Chains A and B, each alone.
Chain A
C-alpha cells in the first residue's frame, strides 16, 4: 500500500558542465508512455483505498446482497455512526499513536547511538557486537511472549503502554541499527577529523554532525517501523487486558459478532477512520524524505 524508499546515500554530485543548460525536448511518445505508466501505478495504489472508502458508505444490505466491488447504490454515513457506537475508535487511535510514537523514539534514540558507537567510534569487538544485534533479526516474536508476560507481571508492567512499547522497540532495533550503521559508513571520515581538530568531543560530534546529516535515515527508519508497530496485534493482544489501552487492531475485533459474523461495513468505516492519521503522517514524512535525499554532506 505504501511504497518504501531505501535509505538514501548523499552522492557527491558529479561536476556538471556549467552554463550549458541544454533544454532538449524529449520525444512526446516517450513522455506519454511514462505518464501512462505513472497513472497506472497510481491507480493500482489508490484503488484499494478508494474501494475501502466507498464500501464504508454502502448500506449493510447493499454490500451483502450485491457485488462487493460494485458502486454503492445509495450513500450512507450510518456505518460510521455504528462504528463509533460499537467500538471506542478515538481511544484506539490515541493508544496506537502513543505506542507508535513511544516505540519510534526509543528505536531512533538507541538505534542511532548503538550504530554510532559501532560504526564511528569503533571499539574492540565492535564487529562482534554488531553481529549480535543482527542475529536479533531472526528471532521470532512468539517465543518472547510467555517469558515477557511472566516478567511483566513480576514488575507490574502488564497492561501498560510500556508493555507494548518495549518489545516493539526491542524487536525493531536490529534492523534499525543495521540501517543506521550502513548510512554512517557514508559520512566521510574527514568531517569527523575536522570536527575533532576544532575540539569537539564524541557527543558534540554526534549531536551536531551525525544527527543532522542522518535525518533522512531517521525518517526511513520511522517509516519502516511505524507500519509494523501501527499494525501490531500480537503484543497488544497478549499484554493488554483493559479496554482503555486497546490499540486499533484490537479495537477492530469488536465488530466480530457471534459465531464469526462480522459487521463488514462498520469495520470498513472503522478502518477508514483509523488509517487516515497514518496516511497523513506518511504524506508529511514522504516530503521530509525527499528533502533529506537532496541534502548532501561534502560538496565536491
Chain B
C-alpha cells in the first residue's frame, strides 16, 4: 500500500510538471497585421474543410511549393476534413485545447465570432488592406464572410452564384414560363404536375437545399436583416415575413413541387433527375457549371437548359440582381501564431491565387482576373459568369450559417414535415418560434 501511494504521488507530480509546460502562448494583438522581424521559414498548417482534390487545395499546394523554393524550410501542411460535421468537431476540439494551427477554415458562425471576440483571429480587413489586395475583392464575397456587426475575420477563396436552372422544353410542354414572382411558383408546379413532369428536383438528404427555399420570401419581403433578427428572437415566424414564407413553403408542398420521396434523395439523385430531363427545375450554384454548362451535360437536354435568378415579389425590398451568392467557407488566420513568415506567405499566396483559380474556370472572389471559360463550355457558362458583374449590394444569406446549431437542426427537420404536409403552418410556426426562444438566448449572449 505504501509503495502504491508513493507511486501515485510521483505520477501526480509528473502530471503537474507536464501541464505546467503546456501553458498557452503569449497573448497577441489581433489588429497587428504587419509584424516586424526576420522571416524564419518553418512548417505551417492549414486546417480546412474542402474537397481533397478540389481547385483550392491543388492551387495552394502549388503556391506553397513555389514559395518554398525561395524559402527553404517552409512547408504548408494542408489538413482537410471534407465532411463538415466532422470538421466542426475537430475545429472545436482544437480550439478548446488552444491548439489551433496557423490557418483554419470556418463559416461566419457564432462559434467563430466567439473566437474573434477572444482575440484568436487576425482582423482580416486590416490584413487584406496591409497586403494591398483588399480592393480587389468583390464586396459580396467579403460581405458573406462578415459577422453581423460588419467585422471581417475570414478570407474567401471562392465566389459562387445560385440560380434556378430550368428545362425550356418541359416548361413549354406544360405551358408555363419563367416565374415573374416567387408567388407564381406553386401554380407553376401544379401546371407541371398536370403535364406529368416533376417540377423541382431537390437534394433532400443534405437538408441545406430545402433550407435555401425558406430564406427566399423573407429576403424579398424584409431584406437580409430578417434572419439576423429572427435568430436572436427579435423577429419571429409569426411576423408577416415569417408567415409569408411558412405559407409559401406549405403551398410548395401542396402543389407537389418536389419529387416524390425527396427527403431521402441525395445530391447526385437530384442532379440526375434534372439532367436526364425528368424534372423541370433545379436550384444550384455555379460550382456545378462544369456539369451543367459544358458538353458533359447529357446531350438530350443540352439545348433545352437555361437558368433564371431568384424571382422577386410584389413590393420586395431587394432587387432581382440580389440573391444567394456565397463565397464558401472562409479562412481565418490564427493571431497567436501570426508572424513575419505567415504574413509574407499570405502576401505571396493571395496575390497569385486569383489568377490560378480563375484559370480553372471558376469565379474568383476578386475582380482583378478574368475567369477562363473551358473549351467544352456551352454559351450558358459565359452567361452565368457575366451575372456576377451586375450583382446588387445585398445578398441572401443561407440560413444554416446564421441560426444557432440546435434551432438549425430543428428547422431542417420541421421544413421537411411542413412540405410533406405532416404538420400545419400553425404547428410549424409555434414549434420554430419556441425553438428559437429556447436556444437563441444561450447562444447569442
Do A and B pair up? The answer is yes
Residues of A whose CB lies within 8 Å of any CB of B are 64-65, 86-87, 145-146, 149-151, 153-155, 158, 233-234, 237-238, 241-243, 250, 253-254, 256-262, 264
Contact assessment for A154 and B53 in the assembled complex, using a CB-CB cutoff below 8 Å:
no
Q: Which residues of A contact B21 (CB under 8 A)?
A: 154
Q: Which residues of A contact B8 (CB under 8 A)?
A: none
Given contacts A242-B79, A258-B54, A259-B267, contact A153 B99 (CB under 8 A): yes
Q: Which residues of B contact A150 (CB under 8 A)?
A: 22, 97-99
Q: Min CB distance, B361 to chain A, in Å?
A: 14
Contact assessment for A254 and B86 in the assembled complex, using a CB-CB cutoff below 8 Å:
no
CB-CB contacts of B275-312 with A at 8 A, as 1s and 0s?
A: 01000000001010000000000000000000000000
Would you list the 7 A-B pairs with minimal beta carbon distance, nearest first? Answer: A154-B22, A254-B52, A256-B82, A149-B97, A260-B206, A257-B51, A64-B272
Q: Min CB distance, B348 to chain A, in Å?
A: 23
Q: Which residues of A contact B79 (CB under 8 A)?
A: 241-243
Contact assessment for B93 and A257 in the assembled complex, using a CB-CB cutoff below 8 Å:
no
Contact assessment for B86 and A262 in the assembled complex, using a CB-CB cutoff below 8 Å:
no
Q: Which residues of A contact B53 (CB under 8 A)?
A: 86, 254, 257
Assess whether B45 is interfacial by the CB under 8 Å rule.
Answer: yes
Contact assessment for B268 and A257 in the assembled complex, using a CB-CB cutoff below 8 Å:
no
Q: Min CB distance, A103 to chain B, in Å?
A: 21
Contact assessment for B268 and A241 in the assembled complex, using a CB-CB cutoff below 8 Å:
no
Assess whether B151 is interfacial by the CB under 8 Å rule.
Answer: no
Contact assessment for A262 and B266 in the assembled complex, using a CB-CB cutoff below 8 Å:
yes
Q: Which residues of A contact B80 (CB under 8 A)?
A: 254
How many chain-B residues does the 8 Å CB contact rule pick out? Answer: 39
Q: Min CB distance, A178 to chain B, in Å?
A: 24
Contact assessment for A153 and B93 in the assembled complex, using a CB-CB cutoff below 8 Å:
no
Contact assessment for A154 and B99 in the assembled complex, using a CB-CB cutoff below 8 Å:
no
What CA separation (Å) do A264 and B271 show in the bound complex? 14
Q: Which residue of A lies closest to B291 (CB)?
A: A261
What CA separation (Å) do A39 and B198 show in the bound complex? 42
Contact assessment for B96 and A146 in the assembled complex, using a CB-CB cutoff below 8 Å:
yes
Given contacts A155-B18, A261-B267, A262-B268, contact A145 B93 (CB under 8 A): yes
Contact assessment for A253 and B86 in the assembled complex, using a CB-CB cutoff below 8 Å:
yes
Residues of B whose CB lies within 8 Å of any CB of A are 18-19, 21-22, 45, 47, 50-54, 77, 79-84, 86, 89-90, 93-94, 96-99, 203, 206, 208, 266-269, 271-272, 276, 285, 287
Q: Min CB distance, B302 to chain A, in Å?
A: 15
Contact assessment for A264 and B268 in the assembled complex, using a CB-CB cutoff below 8 Å:
yes
Q: Which residue of A lies closest to B55 (CB)?
A: A258
Contact assessment for B276 and A65 in the assembled complex, using a CB-CB cutoff below 8 Å:
yes
What CA separation (Å) do A293 and B427 show in the bound complex? 59
What CA separation (Å) do A180 and B188 show in the bound complex? 67
What CA separation (Å) do A256 and B48 show in the bound complex? 13
If over half of A's interface residues share one DSSP class (helix, strand or loop), that class is named, otherwise mixed; here it is helix
Contact assessment for B269 and A233 in the assembled complex, using a CB-CB cutoff below 8 Å:
no
Q: Which residues of A contact B267 (CB under 8 A)?
A: 259-262
What CA separation (Å) do A260 and B90 show in the bound complex? 18
Given contact pairs A146-B97, A158-B99, A253-B52, enumerate 11 new A-B contacts (beta carbons under 8 Å). Answer: A150-B22, A150-B98, A234-B89, A237-B90, A238-B89, A238-B90, A241-B45, A254-B53, A257-B53, A258-B50, A259-B267
Q: Which residues of B contact A262 (CB under 8 A)?
A: 266-268
Contact assessment for B272 and A65 in the assembled complex, using a CB-CB cutoff below 8 Å:
yes
Q: Min CB distance, A267 to chain B, in Å?
A: 11
Contact assessment for A259 and B287 in the assembled complex, using a CB-CB cutoff below 8 Å:
yes
Contact assessment for B82 and A254 in the assembled complex, using a CB-CB cutoff below 8 Å:
yes
Q: Min CB distance, A292 to chain B, in Å?
A: 36
Contact assessment for B99 and A256 in the assembled complex, using a CB-CB cutoff below 8 Å:
no
- 8 A-B pairs within 8 Å (CB atoms) are namely A153-B99, A154-B22, A241-B45, A243-B79, A253-B86, A256-B83, A259-B208, A262-B267
Q: Min CB distance, B85 to chain A, in Å?
A: 10
Contact assessment for A149 and B268 in the assembled complex, using a CB-CB cutoff below 8 Å:
no
Q: Min CB distance, A84 to chain B, in Å?
A: 13
Contact assessment for B272 and A257 in the assembled complex, using a CB-CB cutoff below 8 Å:
no
Q: Which residues of B contact A261 (CB under 8 A)?
A: 267-268
Choice from A65, A151, A237 contacting B81 with Cβ under 8 Å: A237
Q: Min CB distance, B360 to chain A, in Å?
A: 13
What CA separation (Å) do A218 and B96 show in the bound complex? 38
Q: Which residues of A contact B51 (CB under 8 A)?
A: 256-258
Q: Which residue of B lies closest to A124 (CB)?
A: B1
Q: Which residues of A contact B90 (CB under 8 A)?
A: 237-238
Choice from A145, A155, A253 contacting B83 with Cβ under 8 Å: A253
Q: Which residues of B contact A237 (CB under 8 A)?
A: 81, 86, 89-90
Choice from B19, B47, B77, B81 contacting A154 with Cβ under 8 Å: B19
Q: Which residues of A contact B99 (CB under 8 A)?
A: 149-150, 153, 158
Contact assessment for A233 and B268 in the assembled complex, using a CB-CB cutoff below 8 Å:
no
Q: Which residues of A contact B285 (CB under 8 A)?
A: 259
Q: Which residues of A contact B94 (CB under 8 A)?
A: 149
Q: Which residues of A contact B83 (CB under 8 A)?
A: 253, 256
Given contacts A150-B22, A237-B86, A241-B79, contact A258 B287 (CB under 8 A): yes
What CA separation (Å) do A145 and B18 show in the bound complex? 18
Given contacts A242-B79, A253-B86, contact A64 B22 (CB under 8 A): no
Q: Min CB distance, A271 to chain B, in Å?
A: 15
Q: Which residue of A lies closest to B99 (CB)?
A: A153
Q: Min CB distance, B76 to chain A, in Å?
A: 12
Q: Which residues of B contact A146 (CB under 8 A)?
A: 93, 96-97
Q: Which residues of B contact A254 (CB under 8 A)?
A: 52-53, 80, 82
Interface centre among A64, A155, A264 (most CB of B within 10 A): A64
Q: Which residues of A contact B272 (CB under 8 A)?
A: 64-65
Q: Min CB distance, A215 to chain B, in Å?
A: 32
Contact assessment for B268 and A253 in the assembled complex, using a CB-CB cutoff below 8 Å:
no
Q: Which residues of B contact A154 (CB under 8 A)?
A: 18-19, 21-22
Q: Which residue of B lies closest to A241 (CB)?
A: B79
Interface centre among A151, A153, A237, A259 (most CB of B within 10 A): A259
Q: Min CB distance, A85 to chain B, in Å?
A: 8
What CA separation (Å) do A248 and B350 show in the bound complex? 34
Q: Which residue of A lies closest to B328 (CB)?
A: A258
Q: Which residues of A contact B50 (CB under 8 A)?
A: 258
Contact assessment for B18 and A64 in the assembled complex, using a CB-CB cutoff below 8 Å:
no
Q: Which residue of A lies closest to B51 (CB)?
A: A257
Q: Which residue of A lies closest to B23 (CB)?
A: A154
Q: Which residues of A contact B93 (CB under 8 A)?
A: 145-146, 149, 238
